[in-house]
Amino acid sequence: MVRIHAGDPTLPMTANNVAPRIYCIPATDAPVVAVLRRGPSDWFHVGRWDLARERFDGGAWFAGRIFPRRSALSPDGRFLCYFAHKPGSSWEHGEAYVAVSKLPWLSALHAFGTCGTWTRGFYFTEDGGCDIPEAEGLPIAYGLRSIPAVQFANERRRGWEEAPDSPPRRPDDVWDQHRNARLRKRQPGAERVLCVESVGAAGGEFGTDQAVDGLLGRYAIEANGDVELLDDLQWADWSRDGRLLVATRSGRIQIWKLEDDRRRVDFDFDLSTLEPDPVAPPGDARHW
């Protein structure tokens, strides 16, 4: 069994005495990860995690709300489709909107308004298909379709599967928020299985500590019939080369190489110390 210990559970002292919430979206066809970080509570930060070069590049700061589980990264890792809410916004698309930008920036290359924060975000389609007129006509090889209302929707598109013992969804559970779903994903080229379970009250705007869009995940690894809880993680997924990508509850992003009963940390970056520092995006972020 892989022994992965939680280590020091103490959260770092930041300006708000709270560690950031972190949610990551890996590209399916490129070694790139979009990192969405919330903290302080009325700020979001977007970063680009380059797995090939093992580096993190910070980008836009946003004084508003981004909904990470209703956002998506294009398969090639270049474009971010994000669902945002900015109270008091005076632009033509209103306070709640969907936009497409170049990672790690938020300059809207295409955008459209929604009827509010209970609508769904959108993901990129490789066949160019769209399901609403507002999402049509992108000058790139991808279309946009609505993210379904199901727990861990982004993860399912990256190969996660619902576990056999996952509680079934009730027919009247429109937003899939009245159960604690369990998903599994096998390690590429190996036998370990990464597991995630939603805990607490899922759905809506309400979640417990470090929940993302109201969904708090608990991770574990199964190997040789044993289960090891990874209680110090708020997000995890396998890289395409079989290493474990993680975001810790203390606010770090890391790459783990699992070897027998040990782990080797190949990359470590501390996001907990970042403070809002908006800068203008580069010129190439403003056009396709």
92: in domain: yes
Q: What is the pLDDT of residue 118?
A: 86
Q: 6-15, 65-74, 218-227, 253-262: which range is least confident on average?
A: 6-15
81: in domain: yes
At 226, which helix (H) or strand (E)? Answer: strand 226-229
pLDDT digits (tens, 9 = 90+) for 53-66: 999 999 999 999 99
Residue (of 225, 144, 151, 164) closest to 192 by Cα position: 225
Q: What is the pLDDT of residue 3?
A: 33
pLDDT digits (tens, 9 = 90+) for 124-157: 999 888 989 999 989 999 999 999 999 999 999 9
pTM metric for this prediction: 0.91
4: in domain: no
Q: What is the pLDDT of residue 230?
A: 97
124: in domain: yes
110: in domain: yes
pLDDT for residue 162 is more than 70: yes
Per the structure, the complete domain to which residue 43 belongs is given by 21-286
Long-range contacts of 115-118 (CB under 8 A, 24+ apart): 117/65, 117/67, 117/85, 117/205
261: in domain: yes
Token pair belonging to 272: 């907990």
Q: How far is CA 155 from the centre of its chain?
A: 9
89: in domain: yes
Residue (of 187, 140, 134, 193) closest to 164 by Cα position: 193
Average pLDDT of every residue of the chain: 90
11: in domain: no
Q: What is the pLDDT of residue 204?
A: 45
Dihedral sign from CA coordinates of 199, 56, 17, 69 = negative
> Count of domains in the chain?
1
